[in-house]
Structure formats: C-alpha cells, structure tokens
Structure 1
Amino acid sequence: MKAVKQFLRRGAASFLAAALLCTAVLAAETEKTKAEQRREDLEFLYQTVLVENHPDVFANTPESEFLTLKQDIESRLETESDVEFLLDLIRLTALVGDSHTMISVGGAAEFRCYPFSLILRDGGWYLSTLPAAEQSSLGKRVAAINGLSMEKVLEAFAPLLPADNPVMLARRFRQDCQIADIYEYLGLAKAGEALTLTLEGGRKLALEPVSYAALQEAELAYLSDRITKAPATAAADAYYFAKPLNQNTYYIQYNTCQEAEDLSMEDFAALVQADLDAGSYDRVLLDLRNNGGGSDGVVWPLLEVLRSSMDRGCELVGLIGPATFSSALINAVEIQEMGGVLAGESAGGSVSHFGAVQGFSLPNCGARGQLSSKYIDLNTLLDAGAGRGVTALEPDVSLPQTLADTLNGRDTAVEWLLAHREKLAQKAYPDAPLTRGRFIGQLYEAAGSPAVDGELPPFQDSFGIEWFLPALTWAKGAGIANGAADGTFSAARSITWQEAAVFLTRAAGEDKVPNPAADRRGPLPAALAEGGHRDAVTRAWDLGLLPEQADFTKTPTRAQGLEMAKALSALLK
C-alpha cells in the first residue's frame, strides 16, 4: 500500500533544471540594449520554459496563437514600458490555460493600484477595502467598473489570468482587480485617470491610481474590521488542528499539505484517533477550504484513521471552497473515493489538472514564475474522478458562504451541517464512465453486501481507503474478480462490456439457467460479440443481465452499471 500511496505523492515545489535558473552565465561579452534583453527574455520564456519544459503547452491553445502573440510582443520591444512588457509576458504565459503555470505580478516592474478590493459573495462582487473617506460604501455590491458590467470586466481580464476553470478565474481576478496598470493595458481605463465604480443603486465612486508605496501609507477602511467575532471554524494559524464541535460532530482543519515541525502528521492522526475512540461522534468534518496545496501524500495517515472511523459507521464530510487547490484538491477527491461527501462551494482547483510546479526566473528582467511539470489525471487515477476531467471540483452539497454570515462571524456551511443530521449523499454523475472498482461495488450491494473475511486491501494496487474495498475483498474471495497475474486489479480503469459480463456471470453462479422467453429476446448484438469472453457475454445476454437498449460500442456508464446490478439482484432472488 505504501508503494501505491507514493504513486500519488508529490513533493513540494522545486526549481527547474539548472538551465532555467543559472541566468548569470547568459551575460554577453558586450552590453545588450534593453530591446535585446527583452527579446532574450521572451525567447527564453517561450522556448525554454514553456515549449521545452511544460508537459503539454498547446493542450488548450494552438501553437499559432502563441506565435501570433509572441510576434506582436516582438514588434514593440523597443517602445513599451517595463510594466507593459511584464504584462505581455504574463499574457503569453496565460495562454497555456493552466492554473499552476504563471508569471508573478510585481518584482520586475512597479505597478500602481486603485485603493479598493473586492470579495465575491452571494453571486456578486462587494467592496471589502476603500479609502477611509468612502467607508460608508463598504459591503456594497459593485454593478460596473468604468461602465462595464462585472461580467464584462472579468471577461476582459481573462487573457491575463492563469486559470483552467471559472472559479479560479474569479479568484485570480479578485487578487488583481485593484492593479491600475492592468486596466490601462486592457484598454478599460485611460492612463492616469480615475476608475469609476458604479454601485448597486446607482451611486458612483471615483478612485485615483496611486503607487504601491503610497497605497501602503494611505488611510484605508476594511470590511473585515466590522466583523466582531469569529466562528469556531475560523482559519487558524496552524497547518492542522482538530476539536469537537458538539457531542456528535468532530472537526478537523487542514490548512496546508505540509507536515508541521512540532507535530508530525502521524502523531496528529494518532491524536485524532484517540479523540474519535473516546467520543461518540457520528460525523467528522475535514475542512480543506483554506488549503492551497503542497504535497498530497502528507494527509494519508489521517485518511487511514478516518477510513477506520467510517468502517465503524461514522460519516465523513469534506469542506471545500474557492481556495481549495492543487494537492488539497486531490485530497478532496480522495475523500469522495472513500465514500465521503463534499460540502461547501466549488473548488478553485480542477479535478484533473496540470501541477507539480517548478520555479523559473527570466535572465534579464528578473521576472519569476512557476511551471507545471506533469498532468495529474484523476479521471484515470481515482474512481471518484472518472469522467470529470478539467473542471472545477463541485461539492455534493452546495453550501456557499453568505456575506451576512461572514459579517456576523458565522460559518454558513458548518452551521447547516450541525443543524442537519440526515445522512448525506454524493452526486450521482450517472453518465460518468463505469470503473471496474465501482461495478464490483454495485454487484456487492446487489448480492446483499455479505460480510467479508479476507486480506485488506485485496489487490496490490488498492489504496486501502476506497469505499468499495470490502466489495473487492468479497469479489476476490468469491472468485468473481481475480485480478491480473501481478496481483493488481486496476479499479479506476473504465470497465468494458466484456469484463462486465464476466463479473456478472461469475456473480450469478453456474446454477442459473437462461430462459430466453423471459430473460432476453433477439440475437447477441455484434458489438458484444467482439472483444473476447464470448461465452460469458453470451450467457450474460441470455440471462438478461446486460441492458438490451445499450450502445455497446461505448463505455458503460455508472447508470448502466446500476441497471446491470439491479438485474443481477432480481436474478439472485
């Protein structure tokens, strides 16, 4: 099992090969002009960083668009400002369409800012920072910026923002929405002029751009200052902590995918185990809403404790939100793999995504950034990720934080969970590809979920936390699923109709005799006859265990798996 865990484990961010960082050796014998230095930086970014080191740089944008923008940037190397050049590089990098691959704003140029910030709540953008003289407008909803709706402003910002889903796009916008140079670069504001915010109701605020240094000295008012109390689940200055919220609910906050120096994850998991053993909790909340990533394998000792608790009847609920990203996103999908439910808001991270970042810097302007080094395809690594691809991870139970609760120091999601004790359920995703592991789980339930007695995990490539782990043990012990010669099973791989037929007929037993008049009418479809296992396919068809109207040229879906399991259950009665 340790070897399997290591397969998903990713280390903390590292630097690229020495060629990307040892920039000092690039100095020429004669001094270069600024345009020459910029050309060198541009070429280094495009060719060495993106083309040669990104795992699939043209996955989302064709090469022709990169080259067109690169040529456009080259045409103004001698005339544009340092800020404009940096924004050009940021825009070129954002074409990758990868939330992890980016160039940092700042450091290589002096940006100016407007004195405001926004918070996204209740489906709208609200003012969270303003000059003290305008503090009466804090908490007001912004309807437009310089006459453009917020949707249009976000659309205009999108080419500069590294994001692979709308949730991350909004999060990146919130981080950069006050940068005056971006509005000017995008043609949303005239150089040096005030930015006009139109509030809901029609009132307008005009904000002048200032330097970052001046902004630090300005007298500002903050919406957060109006919050007089914090919920028990407020983000703590700790890697992780745990405590009971009441006699039924145990709460764990996991804020970064790293081990604390003063408390290893093994020791922390042991403390959680002791608390769970001593209490009578029927629900555990694992909060990933403040976790932006790190190394996804760090949490495994805790997941093993929670798996044991679930086996004793405790419900696991993972909390996610826009800040849930990278390794924490993987951990959230692992919660679903365990059979747990996700609650809260859609995550900033996508189910499948580029990641495992490495750092880089450009040789002349000093701009720094990070680059993905691999594609993490949870669509094929975990049953819970099957069929979802590069899309924001959605909660099974949507519980968005409201602005009113934020200002009143209340945690919308947790308060709802404390008030609702009913058993929660995952989203069905009926059209998702049916995996081998899930189908065995469906057959196990169709057989009445008999008690299992065997080795856990039953196959070498089992993670040891899957919700269908008892089903795999049952299937192996009953001779329904034997696995490969090397002891693996490939539970996350999509099942074929032929494999489904083999599992079905073995589960049905040899004593079941087909009754064509009652079970099936018509010949075996040609698509089923191809691909091997002809005897099992024919018998499953004659027993009425395969759906008669299915398109057998396509991969079975979860809904079709349930239909086959239902047919098996009826046959076994």
Structure 2
Amino acid sequence: MKMHLTFVTFAFVLAGLTHAQQISTASRTEDLNYVVNIVAKADKFFFATLDPTQFQQAAAALTAKVPTATDAEFYVGLAQLVAMAGDMHTQIFLGTGNTPFLQFPLDLRWLDDGVFVVGAGSAYLNTLGTQIVAVEGMPVSQVVHQLGTTFAHSNDQYLHVEAESYLASQAILQALHIAPDAPTTAFTFQTLTGTQFTLQLAPRGSAGIAMLDPPLAQGPWPDYLNYGNYYTGVLSNSFFYSAPNKMLYAKYNTCEDLPGAPVSAFDAGVLAALDANPVDTLVIDFRGNGGGDEYLLFPLGLGLFERLPALVANPNFRLYLAIDKGTFSSGMYDPMAFVSGFLTNYEKLPPADTNGVFFVIGEPTSGKPVGYGDTVAFTLPGSGGTGQYSTDAVNQDNGVIPNLPSFNPDIPISTRSTDWFARFDPVMAAILARSSGPPAPPSGTAITVNAASFRTDQGVAPGSFAAVFGAFGQTPDQVLVGGVAGKIVSAAATQVNFIVPASAVPGATPISVLAGGAQLASGQFTVSAAGPGIFVLDGTNPQQPGAVENQDSTVNSTGNRAKVGSAIQIFATGYGPLDSKGSAPVRVFLGDLSAQVLYSGPAPGLPGLWQINALIPQGTPTGQLPLFLSAGNLTSNGVTIWIQ
C-alpha cells in the first residue's frame, strides 16, 4: 500500500494583507460543500473516531461565517473541520491555490531544546541562532497548541514538524487571532545567554530569505549532511562508501521514483556497493523522509536479508536505520518493516535474528505506526486549494506493529540547537562511535553534568571536570561523589565546578553538595568509564567554537584557520583509563573524516584537563566543520573548527 505526506511550503506573496476577501462567497460555499459531501464520504475512515453529529455542527458553524470571515479565517476553519477526522494523512494544505498566505522571512527548525531560527531575511539577521519564545506575548507552546487545531496529529513530533511552517505564516496566526490584523506581528526571541528581545516582523517574499541551512556557516557540509529532504526541499536518494570507516551510507529521502532516478536503481546501487566493499557499518538514513510507496525499497531489504548470513559472519557488521521527527508514513514504515519481521514475512523468507545487528537510531517519528494511508489528492473547486485523504487502513490489527503514537528508536539520540549551528550530526557521531546511547540523565536537586559541554546526555568520567547545578542558597564548600570529596575548582550559590574523584566507580552514583557540613542538595548521575567533552570557548555563540589551537599554538577561529595536513591541539575532559603507554584511547573526527592522533592524555600540570594532538587529514573540506571525539563508545559534544 502507498502512504504519503506532502510537506507544503506556503505560497509567498508580496501583495497586501490577507484580511480582504479575495475568494467569493459562492466559491467558499462550494469548497465547504466539497469537504462535507465529497471528502468526508470518500474517506471511509473519516468518522472512525469522529461523531458525525459533532462534525455537522462544526460545518454549520463554519457556514455561518462564510459571508464575514477573511479568506484566512475561512480556510483555516475549513482545515480545522477536516482535522476533526483525526487522520494525519487527511488534511487541507493551507496557502495553496488562490489563497496564498503571507509568510515571514524566517526558516525555522524545531530542535530538542525548542524552535530556532536557522534562516532569516536580511532585515532580521539578528534573529539567526535564536529561539522563538512568544508571539504577541503568547508563549510559543500555547501558540503551537492552537496551530495544531488545523491539522490532525497523534504526537508532538508531527505537531512540531508542521509548526516549523505554520508558525512563520502571518495569515494563519491572524486567522487564529493570535496576531492582530496589522501589517506586522510581534515575535519574541531568546539568545543562548537567555537575553530576550521583541521585533515587529513584516512578511516578505521568499527572495528575502538568506543564509539557509545552515546559517552562520561557511564551507560545505560534511558528506553525511549533504542530503536533501523536506527540510531543504531537494529530494534525491544517494549513497557513498567511506573506506577509512568501512561505512556504506545511504540517504533515502523519498519513497518515490524521481525523473531519471528510480528507487530500483538506488536499491541496486546500494547492494552493489555492499558486495564490492568491506562494510562494517551500513547506514540507511530515513530522516526527513515524508513517505510515498514503501514497497519501492523492499528489493533492497530483500537483498540485505539474502546476504545476512554472509554479513553477520563479520562480527563487526551493524546496520543502523536512522529516523527523526521528519520521518513519516512510508518513510517510517520501511525501517519498521526491516526490524519487525514484516519484510521477511512479506517476501516469504525464513525469520531472521537481527538482535544485536540491526539498530534503529535517532528520534521518535512524526508518523504513527498504526493508522491510515494510500492517499488520494484533491483540489477544492472554488479556491483551487489542495489536500488529500486516506483510502486504506495501515497496520490495523496485524499483531506485528505496535499501536504507539510514534515509531521509537532503539538508540535515542536528540539534536539540540548547539549541534545544529555547529553543523554537528549527533546521530552519525553515535553510529561512528558504535554508541549504545547516552547515559541515564542526572536527577535530584543537584544536577551533575560534563563541565566541558554542560549537557545532560553526555558522560562524566572519573578524574574529569564536572559541574553541579542547583538552588543551593549559599556558596558550597564541599562536594561528595559516592561519599568521596571532589576537588572544588570554583563555587557559587547555583553552580559548583569540581574534579570527579579518580576513585569513582562507573555506574549510577550519588552526589551531595554541602556547606559547613550541612547538605544543601543531593542527586544522582552516571559515572562512565570515559566521558569525552570538548571545551567551548564561547558557549553563547551558536556555532560553539571549540577550545582548539592551531599548529602554531594560536587559537583556531574563522579568522585564524588551520591548514589541511597541520597539527591541532584539542582541549577536553573525560578521558578514560590510560593504556600501557600512558595514552588515553580516542578517535578524533572532523565531520566523517577520522584524524590521526599524535598524542592523547593528561595535559601536563593541569589535573582533569585532556589534551589531544591530531593531524588534519588530507581531503578535509575547507570552511566550518564539526569536530568531535569518540572514547569508550561515547561521543563528545560537537564544536566548530575552521579549516583553510
């Protein structure tokens, strides 16, 4: 069966405000009747969970508004009417046809820590890298809740994906009475320092947007980030082989045949590359794949299962299926079919044991594993607006696919704003490190984190710098880790920086913060054998410039770049047990390129500090690149390094 979602970019116009009625009363009535009498009846699941009486009452209420509502108010109301069906595949695409909606010159991305501006028009470049926290004084969480009434959603992932576009539409915000019927709309932004500022934004045309994906950056993306999908508007399926990593990476952006590029050619090409090269790591990346026909990828899956006995004869072989909140419909169903047994059953293959070999990694999907699909597109007869509705049930009562809000990864990896603007892909970093996922997060009234990255999803190692946060009420003078005192480096009423005792044992560990022998706060965190974290020179800079020195011992920066083939010094914390030569095992990556390590171990005379000297490999792209470490199957944060 086919499942598909079209992620629509709103039409851009430079004309006046959309409060005028450009669509006639007769055309509006025609569109409303089409939804009530055609769409709601053609979709045989429309009333699966919806009370028909409730739907008719809502339709009557919208009918009463036909003569007086603005175009935006009426068509947002029509979208809300369709959304009542509760089917994410059945919806009206706002801003299409003869109802173009004014759009702010912002490109937004919903990341793990909020919704951020990743592209902006020239008049609003000061918003790049900031988080949107309010619209017209309304907290963004409330704004998004109201936006969610215009489309069905079964999880926050889908809500956030759609909000990336809807939040930038002035017409929708005005139709929902979040924004006033005025030329500009007030948005409140927040920087990484916590500073907030409010701007009155005016809508512009698409030509006004600059510095898209990623902003604040120069130079090419690392190889594994050079992909198109609904995030970038470029759909192409591609793959490449990395000999140094023995990794075959396949980016599957769309479950559709493209002109001159059928999926069958992609399937055959990946299998041919798998046969022709030694492969320890196979990655099929479904992030941003909005769907199409899931069966187009089944020949690749069939080929993999036919080769599985030979592949697992290599004890290092792993298959990673990457997903995220942009993975929907068939884009979600394909990785589910790989790991659920559905594909082998469909292809009449014997059951295969893929435990410990196949891993789903990334974020929960926006798609719901059990639902509806096989969509049919429609055009509203009055306005020319477009939409789609479902014609088939998907995975209903098949006993294989769990009925959950999302398809969840085996290895959960989130992407934060600091990752995005440092051009760092934590999912691929975890794959390259063969990570089993982040350690358990800290808990209690004393929250302990790696002092280099200040992230709760990274390791804290014995002998490393750590930071503990809390409302201590006074300046602490002692930190006990598993009952052993850590060396305090600096202390304040809300934060203590200290060195974890070298005797700390990996695992769940209690921590207490004291002053004068009295406990001020306590908690628990995970001590890991190694917990790599690279220090950041300016944590308020979205690009996260790393504590990296060039070969001449000057600080690396955009104006002082390292040369390909030269040595760099990286300053970090969290090295694990030293080997017989007194070195700390580590891998250094610039994007997906592995650098030769010249030295890795304690920085002379500086307890807790880890120094790594490495050579920038030949073939490294110039410009801004993400630098990260891998040690003990955990990865560090990603920081920016500049290459010339």
Bin for the TM-score computed over the shorter chain: 0.5 to 0.7
Instruction: State the distance in 1 between where 2:303 and 2:287 align.
Output: 21
Report if aligned partners of 1:117, 1:177 keep a CA contact under 8 Å in 2.
no
1:318 pairs with 2:321: yes
Identity %: 22
Instruction: State the distance in 1 between where 2:306 and 2:361 align.
Output: 21
Report if aligned partners of 2:119, 2:215 keep a CA contact under 8 Å in 1.
no
| Correspondent of 2:417 among 398, 403, 406 | 403
The structural deviation recorded for 1:36 is: 4.1
Instruction: State the distance in 2 between where 1:274 and 1:91 align.
Output: 48
Distance change (3 Å), C-alpha of 1:400 and 1:366: same
Name the counterpart of 2:433: 419
Report if aligned partners of 2:102, 2:169 keep a CA contact under 8 Å in 1.
yes
Instruction: State the distance in 1 between where 2:46 and 2:326 align.
Output: 25
Instruction: State the distance in 1 between where 2:45 and 2:121 align.
Output: 44
Instruction: State the distance in 1 between where 2:366 and 2:155 align.
Output: 7
1:370 pairs with 2:410: no
The structural deviation recorded for 1:357 is: 0.8
1:356 pairs with 2:374: yes
Instruction: State the distance in 1 between where 2:269 and 2:34 align.
Output: 49
Report if aligned partners of 1:100, 1:372 keep a CA contact under 8 Å in 2.
yes
Name the counterpart of 1:129: 119
Q: For 2:238, give the aligned amino acid.
A: F
Instruction: State the distance in 1 between where 2:140 and 2:434 align.
Output: 35
Instruction: State the distance in 2 between where 1:275 and 1:219 align.
Output: 39
Deviations 1:231-287 (A, max 9, x none): 211215664222223443221111111235545544543433333233332331111
Instruction: State the distance in 1 between where 2:435 and 2:390 align.
Output: 41
Q: For 1:367, give the aligned amino acid.
A: G
Q: Could you say what secondary structure the match of 1:204 adopts?
A: strand
Report if aligned partners of 1:13, 1:359 keep a CA contact under 8 Å in 2.
no
Q: For 1:230, give the aligned amino acid.
A: W
Q: Could you say what secondary structure the match of 1:375 adopts?
A: strand
1:49 pairs with 2:67: no
Name the counterpart of 1:69: 58
1:278 pairs with 2:276: yes
Which runs of structure 2 are paired with 1:77-476 in the superposition (5 Å)?
A: 77-106=66-95, 107-192=97-182, 194-200=184-190, 201-210=194-203, 214-216=204-206, 218=208, 220=210, 222=212, 224-228=214-218, 229-234=220-225, 235-236=227-228, 239-245=236-242, 246-262=244-260, 264-312=262-310, 313=312, 314-338=317-341, 339=354, 340-377=358-395, 379-380=397-398, 383=400, 385=401, 388-389=402-403, 391-420=405-434
The structural deviation recorded for 1:180 is: 1.2
Name the counterpart of 2:549: none
The structural deviation recorded for 1:299 is: 0.6
The structural deviation recorded for 1:151 is: 1.3
Matched residue count? 390
The structural deviation recorded for 1:156 is: 1.4
Instruction: State the distance in 2 between where 1:239 and 1:221 align.
Output: 22
Q: For 1:63, give the aligned amino acid.
A: P
Distance change (3 Å), C-alpha of 1:421 and 1:143: closer
Normalising by the residue count of structure 2, what TM-score does the alignment of the two structures yield?
0.56
Report if aligned partners of 1:161, 1:173 keep a CA contact under 8 Å in 2.
no
Q: Which protein shows a greater Rg?
A: 1
Q: Could you say what secondary structure the match of 1:286 adopts?
A: strand
Which runs of structure 2 are paired with 1:488-567 in the superposition (5 Å)?
A: none
Report if aligned partners of 2:246, 2:280 keep a CA contact under 8 Å in 1.
yes
1:40 pairs with 2:30: yes
The structural deviation recorded for 1:411 is: 1.9
Distance change (3 Å), C-alpha of 1:358 and 1:277: same
Deviations 1:132-168 (A, max 9, x none): 2432331112222222222111111111123232211
Which of structures 1 and 2 has the larger relative contact order (alpha carbons within 8 angstroms, sep 6+)? 1
Distance change (3 Å), C-alpha of 1:354 and 1:397: same
Report if aligned partners of 2:430, 2:437 keep a CA contact under 8 Å in 1.
no
Report if aligned partners of 1:125, 1:142 keep a CA contact under 8 Å in 2.
yes
Report if aligned partners of 1:112, 1:209 keep a CA contact under 8 Å in 2.
no
Q: Could you say what secondary structure the match of 1:79 adopts?
A: coil
Q: Could you say what secondary structure the match of 1:364 adopts?
A: coil
Normalising by the residue count of structure 1, what TM-score does the alignment of the two structures yield?
0.63
Instruction: State the distance in 2 between where 1:258 and 1:152 align.
Output: 36
Report if aligned partners of 1:231, 1:411 keep a CA contact under 8 Å in 2.
no
Name the counterpart of 1:560: none
Q: Could you say what secondary structure the match of 1:370 adopts?
A: strand
Report if aligned partners of 1:13, 1:356 keep a CA contact under 8 Å in 2.
no
Distance change (3 Å), C-alpha of 1:188 and 1:253: same
Q: For 1:224, give the aligned amino acid.
A: P
The structural deviation recorded for 1:362 is: 2.1
The structural deviation recorded for 1:120 is: 1.2
Name the counterpart of 2:467: none
Report if aligned partners of 2:73, 2:176 keep a CA contact under 8 Å in 1.
no
Distance change (3 Å), C-alpha of 1:69 and 1:272: same
Distance change (3 Å), C-alpha of 1:289 and 1:176: same
Query: Aligned-pair RMSD on alpha carbons?
Result: 2.7
Distance change (3 Å), C-alpha of 1:285 and 1:145: same
Instruction: State the distance in 2 between where 1:139 and 1:13 align.
Output: 29
Gaps in structure 2 of 5+ consecutive residues? 7-22, 229-233, 342-353, 439-644
Q: For 1:70, give the aligned amino acid.
A: A
Report if aligned partners of 2:135, 2:187 keep a CA contact under 8 Å in 1.
yes
Q: Bigger CA drift: 161-170 or 59-68?
A: 59-68
Instruction: State the distance in 1 between where 2:332 and 2:110 align.
Output: 20
Q: For 2:92, give the aligned amino acid.
A: I
Distance change (3 Å), C-alpha of 1:341 and 1:157: same
Gaps in structure 1 of 5+ consecutive residues? 1-8, 15-32, 425-573
Instruction: State the distance in 1 between where 2:81 and 2:140 align.
Output: 24
The structural deviation recorded for 1:220 is: 4.9
Deviations 1:361-380 (A, max 9, x none): 22222222111111112651
Name the counterpart of 1:553: none
The structural deviation recorded for 1:217 is: 5.1
Distance change (3 Å), C-alpha of 1:12 and 1:403: closer
Q: Could you say what secondary structure the match of 1:420 adopts?
A: coil
Q: Could you say what secondary structure the match of 1:251 adopts?
A: strand
Considering fraction of residues, name the structure with more strand.
Answer: 2
Q: Could you say what secondary structure the match of 1:401 adopts?
A: coil
Report if aligned partners of 2:106, 2:121 keep a CA contact under 8 Å in 1.
yes
